[in-house]
Amino acid sequence: MSTGLEREPSVEVTEDELETLVGDRALARDDHLNAPGFVIRPDDVQDVLTDLRDEAGFDHLANLTAQQYADRYESIYHLRKYADPTQEVSIVVPTTTDEPVSQTAEPVFRTADWHEREAFDLVGIDYEGHPDPRRILLPETWQGHPLSEGYDQEKPQLVTLTEHANPVQPDHHDDESDTMFLNIGPHHPATHGVLHIETVLDGETVVDVDPDIGYLHRCEEQMCQNGTYRHQIMPYPDRWDYVSAGLLNEWAYARTAEDLADIDVPEYAQVIRTMGAELCRIASHMLALATFALDVYGDFTAIFQYGMRDREVVQDILEDLTGQRLMFNYFRLGGVAWDLPEPREEFIEKTRDFLDGLPAKVDEYHDLLTANEIFQVRTHDTGILEPEVAKQYGCTGPVARGSGIDYDIRRDDPYGYYDNLEWDVVTEDGCDNYSRVLVRMQEVEESAKIIEQCLDLLEDWPEDERTVQSNVPRTLKPDADTEIYRSVEGAKGELGIYIRSDGTDKPGRFKIRSPCFHNLSALPEMSEGEYVPDLIASLGSLDIVLGEVDR
Amino acid sequence: MTGGQIAGAATLPSAPPAMPLQDTVLLPERLGELTGLDGFGLGGELLATFLAAFIVGNLMLAMTGVAGPWAKRKITAAFTDRIAVNRLGPAGLFIILADSVRLLSKELVIPENADRPAYDLAPIVVASSALLGFAVIPMGSGIHLADPEVGLAYVFAVSGIASLGLVMAGYASSNKYSLLGGLRAVAQNIAYEIPLVITGMSIVIFAGTLQLGEIVSAQAKPLLTIAGISIPSWYALVNPFAFVLFLVANFAEVGRNPFDTPEAPTEIVAGYQTEYSSVYFVLIYLGEFLHIFLGGAIIATIFLGGPAGPGPAALGIVWFIIKIWAVFFATQWLRSAVPRVRIDQLIEIGWKGLLVLSFANLVLTAVIVGLIA
């Protein structure tokens, strides 16, 4: 088993050095709780970002937040390092209300492509020089920008579906060429939700791929902005990545809000959180494995059913713990909702039984799946995602680790109880579909290790020290204009949240950094030039959940 | 209608069959005798033939009826830790009835731009081409419609017609997924029909005839006798290599895992059958199952001794059906356990692998048979 490459030590860049690097281009400082922030002019974006990437090693555009204030628009580029995500810097780009035009960052970070489209779509900032300035989540015909000030929510929108007026378009993309345009989705057996992939085929070879997302856009960010910090936001994260990664998502909000409002979490609750989150990771990876097998095998085969069967056990354990099977709503700011279910011994034993049976099941998967020659022929050297490309697209999680990028928030930017436990970050250097499967399978085993240790701790925890929640005020009102970006290692990668408080008990801006969003944007790089079946397999290996992509 | 007339009925159990299992009297003739139709000249003969064909056709359709809605579900469920249909009747058997009502009562949706005669004809071509093949298969117990001298060639020829149906379906549906599926189906059928036929030819060299009745009786000869138990010279035992080749080529020919690329549900939705609903869908589905069974029938006939088996020869049909179902079971097993190869890999395996191997097998067989003779 690979436990990853030796990590290159990353050179710490001090704030002074950053200040010198940005130099005169910094108009002001706008520090966030997590990172120093520099305000720059809208036409310096590429310049500054290139310097930060090449000179200071900030090679990860983790997120782009766009928002409107009373007097200006603002784009915030949250930069990090793959080598050390605790080193962060925020680049704040204000633009005027009358003419919200800002330079695009797409030539520096490819992932800015989709992010800036989203910023244009929802907030209304134009990015000059953007190669593809279309809406991304809403239909092309949408009027106005829903997250901008003065947007009239009551105004009925007529979506004429012009973009799909003719679902069966002429066979030839254009009259000259020999290619065929094919709509894969939004209703297709292998798109893992409602995803529409506009594909141009030359025979069976994929010439061009353009994922069209937004079919599952449910205004999650806005809904969170309309809920109070204390209780009303926590149920929403369950609904982003809705395939059993609920607790991992909840932790993203819990971590961000707790850091924002300076809330402590009792150690005991952290252990429970860690255990619950890893159970969710196992459930999620099992499903990823099962559906990937479905994509490659092409039918509801044994391996799919085995994956579902084993996930069911995890689901039962999580139900015992949280009372719910999918939408857990189990985390609270400052802890978790309640202690382990009584009788404790029974719960612990049940979980242990599952962990004891796991190695045999993983062996079975290896027998059926990774050892199968046809499976190897199908997945080796397909869906190649080179590490440099992956970084450009902001890929994280098993997708990045399958490309040999040793990046795991749990270890690199520790939270919860992970720091005190023995486990490894799994990486594979294959960069192909096969590596991503291997990474997920090994991560299941690592998660099992973590749960095992948590169970030992929970079993011996003194009875009078089992505090599941700290005291948190009934109403949370963080200071106005406090900004924070925090992330956790979700099932699919770095799940981050940016919150700006406006002095009330609801967030002023709530931005979700979805790992699936980034991972999916790399699909064209992975599948162009390969065959249709490889496109499907690559899509499956990304393990996207459209609920999280579209939010 | 039993009896004394059936050749080999006098053979004692466990003793090597003294007489070939080949039916000396074909089913239409016997029916004509039994019903007295043979007294009416040509018209009577035709009617008897039609009656016999009706019986055989319905036997096969009944088998697919059991296989499609019920057996397939139960077998797959057993492989994947599920229970499958169990609400209607014993072991859910009545689902067959419910499913037929459901499928036949659905609306027949025909795409606006469908190429009409071709679109309507395709399901019929697919289903009937397989049924035609059963005409020359000796099923034992006197069920054998015809035994032409070119029997084996005829079977391959009519089952090959199915490719035409698939292309028609793929092209006429005016759907890009159907088109891709149709093209894949042709590419696949061409790539695998040649190894299939070549491997079949190696059996012809052994048997010295294309007549299926003769091929079956040639296999009744004992291969060797161990402790009083004689092992018949089934060609699967005589030349296991050819058997495996034929089996693999056959899975590709009927489009089943790992070679189900023409349908490939996760890639091209349902391939050539994407736009078919209701009765047409049933016909295409029937056709596919018939093809699996026809493939099984060919394998049983030229490799597994046809209807031969222990017990009186009257049980021939039972053994024959068991052998067909064994092949069907194998397709379902593969479907549950083996991934699908990619279309380019499929073509490569066909042209660069199976074709070469089947020719090698043919030449080797010819040399060995020539030396022995």
Separation between Cα atoms, residue B1 and residue B18, nearest integer Å: 23
Domain assignment present for B154: yes
Tokens of A141: 């015909």
User: Under an 8 A CB cutoff, do A204 and B180 touch?
Assistant: yes
pLDDT digits (tens, 9 = 90+) for A396-413: 989 999 998 889 898 888
User: Under an 8 A CB cutoff, do B268 and A532 touch?
Assistant: yes
Share of chain B above pLDDT 90, in %: 2
Contact A400, A412 (CB under 8 A): no
B115 or B227, higher pLDDT:
B115
DSSP string, B45-73: HHHHHHHHHHHHHHHHHHHHHHIIIIIHH
Tokens of B56: 């055989």
**Count of CB atoms within 10 A of residue A156's CB?**
6
Which DSSP category does B208 fall into? T
Give contacts of A 487-516 with B, CB under 8 A: none
Separation between Cα atoms, residue B289 and residue B296, nearest integer Å: 10
Domain assignment present for B34: no
pLDDT beyond 80 at A302: no
| Region A116-135 average pLDDT | 88
ω into residue A186 within 30 of 0, thus cis?
yes
User: Under an 8 A CB cutoff, do B174 and A168 touch?
Assistant: yes
Separation between Cα atoms, residue A64 and residue A521, nearest integer Å: 15
**Which residues contact residue A134 at a Cβ distance below 8 angstroms, ignoring those fewer than 6 apart?**
A117, A140
CATH architecture of the domain with range A244-383+406-429+441-511: Orthogonal Bundle (1.10)
Closest residue on chain A to B336 (Cα): A301
Contact B141, B316 (CB under 8 A): yes
C-alpha closest to that of A483 among A87, A70, A92, A149: A92
Phi/psi of residue B320, nearest 5 degrees: -60, -45
Separation between Cα atoms, residue A253 and residue A488, nearest integer Å: 9
* Amino acid identity at B149: E
**Which residues contact residue B156 at a Cβ distance below 8 angstroms, ignoring those fewer than 6 apart?**
B193, B196, B197, B200
The total number of structural domains in chain B stands at 1
pLDDT digits (tens, 9 = 90+) for B309-346: 777 777 888 888 888 899 888 888 888 888 888 888 88
Chain B residues lying within 8 Å of A305, measured CB to CB: 80-82
User: Under an 8 A CB cutoff, do B266 and A306 touch?
Assistant: no
Domain assignment present for B12: no
- Asked if A305 reaches chain B (Cβ–Cβ under 8 Å), the answer is yes
**Count of CB atoms within 10 A of residue B268's CB?**
31
Separation between Cα atoms, residue A73 and residue A98, nearest integer Å: 9
User: Under an 8 A CB cutoff, do B339 and A168 touch?
Assistant: no
Distance (Å) from the alpha carbon of B188 to chain A's nearest alpha carbon: 14
Residues from B in contact with A at Cβ < 8 Å: 76, 79-82, 113, 174-177, 180, 257-258, 260-261, 264-269, 335-345
User: Under an 8 A CB cutoff, do A378 and B174 touch?
Assistant: no
pLDDT digits (tens, 9 = 90+) for A172-199: 445 566 777 888 878 877 777 788 888 8
Give the 3-state secondary structure of residue A129: coil
Share of chain B above pLDDT 70, in %: 92
**Range B148-166 burial, b when 16+ CB lie within 10 A, else e:** eeebbbbbbebbbebbbbb
Q: Report the DSSP beta bridge partners of residue A510.
A: A499
**Count of CB atoms within 10 A of residue A468's CB?**
18
Residue numbers of the domain that contains B357: 112-372
User: Under an 8 A CB cutoff, do B340 and A297 touch?
Assistant: yes
The tally of CA atoms less than 13 A away on the side-chain side of residue A327 is 6
Residue B194: its H or E element: helix B176-207
pLDDT digits (tens, 9 = 90+) for B71-83: 888 888 888 888 8
**Count of CB atoms within 10 A of residue B193's CB?**
18
pLDDT beyond 60 at B20: no
pLDDT beyond 50 at B91: yes
Domain assignment present for B53: no
Chain A residues lying within 8 Å of B342, measured CB to CB: 377-378, 531, 533-534
Q: Is B355 exposed, middle or buried (0-12, 13-18, 19+ CB in 10 A)?
A: middle
User: Under an 8 A CB cutoff, do A297 and B79 touch?
Assistant: no
Most B-contacting residue of A200, A202, A204 (CB-CB within 10 A), to test interface: A204
* Amino acid identity at A501: S
Q: Let me know how many helices (H) and strands (E) chain A has, helices first.
A: 17, 15
Phi/psi of residue A196, nearest 5 degrees: -115, 120
For every residue of A132-187, which 3-state class applies, written as one string?
Answer: CCCCCCCCCCCCCCCCCCCCCCCCCCCCCCHHHCCCCCCCECCCCCCCEEEEECCC
Chain A residues lying within 8 Å of B113, measured CB to CB: 168
Give the 3-state secondary structure of residue A482: coil
Domain assignment present for B89: no
| Region B4-28 average pLDDT | 47
Contact A59, A85 (CB under 8 A): no
Phi/psi of residue B231, nearest 5 degrees: -100, 120
Chain A residues lying within 8 Å of B335, measured CB to CB: 299, 301
- Asked if A344 reaches chain B (Cβ–Cβ under 8 Å), the answer is no
Q: Is the dihedral of CA B196, B340, B333, B128 positive or negative?
A: negative
Tokens of A485: 């970006």
**Which residues contact residue A376 at a Cβ distance below 8 angstroms, ignoring those fewer than 6 apart?**
A370, A434
Separation between Cα atoms, residue B150 and residue B135, nearest integer Å: 12
Chain A residues lying within 8 Å of B336, measured CB to CB: 299, 301-302
Domain assignment present for B61: no
| Region B215-241 average pLDDT | 79
* Amino acid identity at A413: D
Closest residue on chain B to A204 (Cα): B180
Mean pLDDT (chain A, rounded): 85
Distance (Å) from the alpha carbon of B263 to chain A's nearest alpha carbon: 9
User: Under an 8 A CB cutoff, do B80 and A302 touch?
Assistant: yes
Chain A residues lying within 8 Å of B81, measured CB to CB: 302, 305-306, 309
A15-128 CATH, one of 3.30.460.80, 1.10.10.10, 3.40.640.10, 3.40.720.10 = 3.30.460.80
Which DSSP category does A262 fall into? T
A321 or B66, higher pLDDT:
A321
* Amino acid identity at A106: E
User: Under an 8 A CB cutoff, do B257 and A368 touch?
Assistant: no
Closest residue on chain A to B264 (Cα): A298
Length of chain B: 373
Chain A residues lying within 8 Å of B341, measured CB to CB: 374, 377-378
Domain assignment present for B99: no
**Count of CB atoms within 10 A of residue A505's CB?**
17
- Picking from B177, B268, B337, the nearest residue to A301 by CB comes out as B337
Domain assignment present for B146: yes
User: Under an 8 A CB cutoff, do B269 and A372 touch?
Assistant: no
What was the pLDDT predicted at B16?
A: 42
Closest residue on chain A to B73 (Cα): A300
Chain A residues lying within 8 Å of B265, measured CB to CB: 189, 298-299
The tally of CA atoms less than 13 A away on the side-chain side of residue A483 is 21
- Asked if A306 reaches chain B (Cβ–Cβ under 8 Å), the answer is yes
What was the pLDDT predicted at B2?
A: 38
Give whole-number Cα distances, A38 to A54, A78, A480, B219, in Å: 17, 11, 19, 87
Separation between Cα atoms, residue A148 and residue A144, nearest integer Å: 8
**Count of CB atoms within 10 A of residue B289's CB?**
25
User: Under an 8 A CB cutoff, do A378 and B258 touch?
Assistant: no
